A = this chain, B = another copy of it.
Amino acid sequence: MTDSDPLAADLLTWKLTLAYDGTDFRGWQVQPGERTIQGELQSALGRITGEAPLPQGSGRTDAGVHALAQVASFPLRAPIPPENLQRALNRTLPESIRILEANTVPNTFHARHSAVAKTYEYRVRPAKPVCESVCSPFLARYVYAFPWPLDLDKLESAAQLLVGEHDFLSFAASDPDLTARNQSASFTDPDEKPSTIRIIFSSTWTKQAIEGGDLLVYRVRGNGFLHHMVRNLVGTMLDVGRGYRQTEGIPAIFTARARSAAGPTAPARGLFLHSVEYGCDSSR
């Protein structure tokens, strides 16, 4: 869609909210010969409307990462009632991708540029103190079965140190191309030099009782996240929670500005994009 498109005035902007089980996809972003969420969505839209716009996500989730409420936007010429588009997409898409909501929104809306905050959740099943933990086969796709016991107080103290404005370079994927990848709502000008500074609004661990043990759930809300940032934050906090690293060492990781200063990248399977927030004026 460009300004010179004579039919631009007929285009409606759509906002979709969708959930997916990321296990069997090569992530969000369309890739030739690979099964991706964006690719499945584009092809379903093509089959339903004859148009195949590339839906823009609020951010790109990696292979194996799940979403409880990802947001995507795209233009469509076809005048189709929102409930009908939702129903047709849910009939056409694989059952591991579900459209929770479909709306038309003002043309200024963009799933990534308009986002003001995002929340991620990470689910960990710690080993029991004594015997080896047996993780339910029905959780295996959605939980990181951590091989050591974890101290919730230590996890929580580390999580608190992440709140606020920080340079998260040490927690970003070390591949410079990936690090610069615009995963964030905090810069909307493509010419702007990518910053690795982000603001974390909240960062907490909670315990949930499940069959046969406890699930530890980390929830983090911020104005944007660098590539691999949540998984690297979790990997570092798990080092603290198992007693391998001290909470007090976290500030030094920020100042190091080096990926090697932080802990390992936690596996994709435990990560869920929980929700995306938009300003009152831009969401519809």
The reply to whether A134 and B99 form a contact with Cβ atoms under 8 Å apart is yes
Please give, as numbers and ranges, the residues of chain B lying within 8 Å of A66 by CB-CB distance: 138
Residues 121-158 of chain A, each 1 if its beta carbon lies under 8 Å from chain B, else 0: 00000000001101111101010010000000000000
Q: Does A181 contact B (CB under 8 A)?
A: no
Identify which of A21, A138, A145 gathers the most chain B CB atoms within 10 Å of its CB. Answer: A138
Please give, as numbers and ranges, the residues of chain B lying within 8 Å of A138 by CB-CB distance: 19, 21, 66, 142
The reply to whether A90 and B140 form a contact with Cβ atoms under 8 Å apart is no
Given contacts A95-B140, A96-B140, A140-B96, contact A134 B90 (CB under 8 A): yes
- For chain A, the count of residues having a C-beta within 8 Å of the partner chain is 24
Specify which of B20, B21, B137 is in contact with A97 (CB 8 Å cutoff): B137
The reply to whether A98 and B135 form a contact with Cβ atoms under 8 Å apart is yes
Please give, as numbers and ranges, the residues of chain B lying within 8 Å of A20 by CB-CB distance: 137
Kindly report how many copies of this chain are found in the complex they form together. 2
A175 to B132, CA, bound (A): 44
**Can you name the residue of chain B whose Cβ is closest to the Cβ of A212?**
B100
The reply to whether B21 and A140 form a contact with Cβ atoms under 8 Å apart is yes
The reply to whether B87 and A135 form a contact with Cβ atoms under 8 Å apart is no
The reply to whether B134 and A98 form a contact with Cβ atoms under 8 Å apart is yes
Please give, as numbers and ranges, the residues of chain B lying within 8 Å of A19 by CB-CB distance: 136-138
The reply to whether A98 and B137 form a contact with Cβ atoms under 8 Å apart is yes
Please give, as numbers and ranges, the residues of chain B lying within 8 Å of A83 by CB-CB distance: 131
Which 9 A-B pairs have CB atoms at the shortest separation, nearest pair first? Answer: A95-B140, A21-B137, A96-B137, A98-B137, A98-B134, A19-B137, A20-B137, A87-B132, A21-B138
Q: Please provide the chain A residues from 84 to 113 with a CB less than 8 Å away from any CB of chain B in the complex.
A: 86-87, 90, 95-100
Sample 12 A-B pairs with CB under 8 A, ordered by A number.
A19-B137, A19-B138, A20-B137, A21-B137, A66-B138, A83-B131, A95-B137, A96-B137, A96-B140, A97-B137, A98-B134, A98-B136
**Can you name the residue of chain B whose Cβ is closest to the Cβ of A132?**
B87
Identify which of A20, A90, A98, A100 gathers the most chain B CB atoms within 10 Å of its CB. Answer: A98
A19 to B138, CA, bound (A): 9
A168 to B39, CA, bound (A): 47
A87 to B131, CA, bound (A): 10
